[in-house]
Amino acid sequence: MSGKFPEVQGGGSLILAWQIRNKHVLVIGGGEVAAGRILNVLNADAKVTVVSPREGLNEEVAYRIEKKQVEYIDRKFEPSDLDGADMVLTAVDDPEASSQIYKLCHERRIPANIADVPPECDFYFGSVHRDGPLQVMVSTNGNGPKLANIVRRKIAASLPDNTGAAIQKVGVLRRKLRKIAPAIEEGPKRMHWMSKICESWSLEDLCEMDEKDMDELLKSYKSGDVPCLHEVRHEGEPVVGFEGSFGWW
C-alpha cells in the first residue's frame, strides 16, 4: 500500500489564494520592503493603512500616500493601531519592536507577517508571477527568498505570452455557462465540460474566441460535445447554393 498514495512531506506551508478584498491591512514601516508588501495587498484590493514617520518613507510608499491609494499615519506604531485590523505586515529595522508587535497580534488573533523573521510569521510572501488573472507563487518557506525569485523567473519564462489572456476568456465562458446551467446538480457536468474545452482547445484558440463564439459553443453544452473553434464558426463546411442554368453546386 505504501506506493499507492503520495508520501507526506512535512515542513511545508499551506499555499492558498487569500481573498482580502476590502479587508483592513495595517502596514508598519515605510521602506523598500514595506513598498513591496503594500503593492501586494493593493493588488488584492485590500484597504491599506501605513504607519511610519515621514522621514522613513521610501519613494514608492510616499507616492502611494500622495495618490491616496493608502491611508497614512505619520508616527511610530502604537498598540491602538491594531484596532480593526484584519492583517498586519511589519517592515521595520527594530527586531525588538517587531517581536512586540507580533506578540500583540498573536494576543488579538490577527494574522501577521514580520519581515525577515520567519518564526514570527503566520504566513509568508512568495515570489509571484502575474499575468492578468494568472498568479503563480513560488515559496521557499522562508529559507531563500532570492532563490524563490530565480525559480519564479524560470517558470514565467516557460509560459506562453498569451496564457493570461486565454484564462480571461475561459473565465468569461464559465460565467456564461453558469447562467444557462445554474442548478447545483449541474456542477459536475459544468466542470467536466469546461475541463474538456481547456484540454482540447489551444491557448491561441482560447485567446481568439469572442462573445459570438462563446454563445455558439454553449449550444453544445447540453449534449456534452466540445467542437473545435473552426466547427463553432462553421468554417470549412461545404456551401450549397443554386447557380441558375447550371443547377446545384
CA distances from 193 to 178, 199, 210, 211, 225 (A): 12, 10, 18, 18, 8
Instruction: Determine whether 116 is an active site residue.
Output: yes
Residue pair 216/232 in contact (Cβ under 8 Å)? The answer is yes
Tell the residue number behind the cell numbers 447557380, with chain if given.
243
The rounded distance, in Å, linking the Cα atoms of 128 and 149 is: 8
The rounded distance, in Å, linking the Cα atoms of 199 and 81 is: 49
Residue from 116, 122, 205, 213 carrying the catalytic annotation? 116
3 state SS of 176: helix
Residue 209 main-chain phi, psi, to 5 deg: -60, 130
Containing 242, the helix (H) or strand (E) segment is: none
What the block records as the C-alpha cell of 192 is 467536466
Residues that are catalytic? 116
